[in-house]
Amino acid sequence: MPSAEYIFQEMLEQEKIAALHRTLSVPDWPAAEGKIIISGSGDSHCAALFGHWLLEKRGKVSGLPSLEASQAAQYLQPGDLFIGISVSGRTARVLEGAKRAQSAGAVVVAVTDNLQSPLAHLATVVWPIHASPAEELHRTNYKDKQAKQYVGYHHDVAQTKTFWAILLTLIRAAEIRFEWKTLLAHTRRLLAASFYDPLLNKAGLWAQSGQTFIVGSGWLKIVARLGSYKMYEYNRLAHFTGIEEYCHTHYFITRTGDTIVFLIADQDTGARAAEVVPVLQELFEARIIWIQSESLDRPNLPIHSNNPIDIVNLPPTTDPLQQFLDHVLAVQWLTYAIGRVDAPNINTFHAGYDTEKLVSGTLRTIRRSAIQKPGCERERIET
């Protein structure tokens, strides 16, 4: 039953996290007026792209993958700012970037859940995301000798609430006008059984797809990217792309019966998606999932008795930021609903059927690094 699954429990915790962040003050900003690099790996890279969008008014901002950020950090100067996002505070590439930024004289901000982590200790300023009980961040359920090092998370599962908490932390840091009361109302609706039950009930059909395409436009492409990452963590093949890019490139790898998820941001993207839906249904018998705010007019979509379009309605809003957050929750539910179908063990991180060996291999990649600092002997980072 979903109620016994950690991911389901963490999904529901997101309302509590939103309520908490509503009461918190603006995170401390260091005295740095230069350019900003904001970075993370995996989900946190998606959060960094979101942060780039939010922080543009503060000057020149670059939202970069962690390896690129590590390379760019060595060229920062005093007065510049490096914002490193790592839930566990242990991601080696983010630590590399932070150390290089610090060596260059830049100020380092850590966005993390673990205040006792290497990243938090290194940073000048820490922005806690307040996602998990502190005492849970230093233990793990893994039995494999090396996988047991994979600590820094509440549960050893594909993360949902930590990404949500990072987004809310960055919103507070950006000091933009935002209706937290509306956020809470939308969050309650999107975390209610009336919203997620239909997705769980239909997931068996969607999970039959050979692959899933999650298609967005503008900043909803960040949500599409996040959705594809989540699907990978459930050992499901997925792609993210823009609507136009899908039309011009991804047709060529679409198979009969694939699932295509459209994230609709506005009337233009809705109209463009509606142009290609009949083609997808006719040529590929594609399963179409259409997600949009109730504030938007829905274009005329074809009706197929044997292959209906699944419409996912989000609460009405004209605020792009609220719309973004609504799509995040919807895509989290969608990927979880599909991912749990025939999962080998939904209560552990299972990006592969031999779960602990895979995570052990991952550890060698993200927990250690031998990248050389400019002008220094080769350095190995271990956490």
Q: What is the pLDDT of residues 226-264, one digit of tens each?
A: 999 999 988 899 999 999 999 888 889 999 999 999 999
Q: Is the pLDDT of residue 381 over 50?
A: no
Predicted pLDDT of residue 378 = 41
Domain spans in the chain, listed from the N-terminal domain onward: 2-171+359-382, 189-339
Tell me phi and psi for residue 262, to 5 degrees.
Answer: -100, 120
Q: What is the pLDDT of residue 235?
A: 86
Residue type at 37 in one-letter notation: I
Distinct helix (H) and strand (E) counts, the chain: 13, 12
What is the pLDDT at residue 375? 53
- Bridge partners, residue 72, by sequence: none
**For position 362, what pLDDT does the model report?**
72
Which DSSP string corresponds to 240-268? EEEHHHHHHTGGGG--TT-EEEEE--SHH
Cβ(179)–Cβ(322) under 8 Å?
yes
Backbone angles phi, psi at 338, to 5 degrees: -70, -45
Label residue 146 by pLDDT band (50, 70, 90): confident
2-171+359-382 and 189-339 share one fold: yes
pLDDT tens column, 361-377:
777 776 667 666 555 54
Task: Tell me which range, 175-179, 289-293, 298-302, 342-346, is most confidently predicted by mean pLDDT.
Answer: 289-293
Q: How confident is the model at residue 173 (pLDDT cuts 50, 70, 90)?
A: very high
Residue 124 vs residue 235, higher pLDDT: 124
| Model pTM above 0.75 | yes
Decide if pLDDT at 35 tops 50: yes
Residue 292: is its pLDDT beyond 50? yes
Level-2 CATH architecture, domain 189-339: 3-Layer(aba) Sandwich (3.40)
d(CA 10, CA 22): 19
Tell me the pairing of strands 81-85 and 36-40.
Answer: parallel
Q: 353: pLDDT confidence band, cut at 50, 70 and 90?
A: low
d(Cα 364, Cα 360) in Å, to the nearest integer?
7
Distance, CA of 178 to CA of 170 (rounded, Å): 12
Run of H or E including 168: helix 161-174
88 alpha-carbon distance from chain centroid? 15
CATH architecture assigned to 2-171+359-382: 3-Layer(aba) Sandwich (3.40)
Average per-residue pLDDT in the chain?
91
Please tell me the predicted confidence (pLDDT) of residue 345.
83
The pLDDT tens digits for 182-208 are 999 999 999 999 999 999 999 999 999
Residues in the chain: 383
CA 280 to chain centre: 27
- Helix axis angle, 6-23 relative to 180-190, nearest 10°? 170
- Alpha-carbon span 217 to 335, nearest angstrom: 19
Q: Give 1-69 as a DSSP string.
A: -GGG-HHHHHHHHHHHHHHHHHHS-PPPPPS--S-EEEEESTHHHHHHHHHHHHHGGGS-EEEEEHHHH
| Rounded average pLDDT over 102-116 | 96
Q: pLDDT value at position 144?
A: 77
The whole-number pLDDT of residue 251 equals: 86
d(CA 2, CA 323): 26
User: Do residues 381 and 95 lie in contact, with contact meaning Cβ atoms separated by under 8 Å?
Assistant: yes
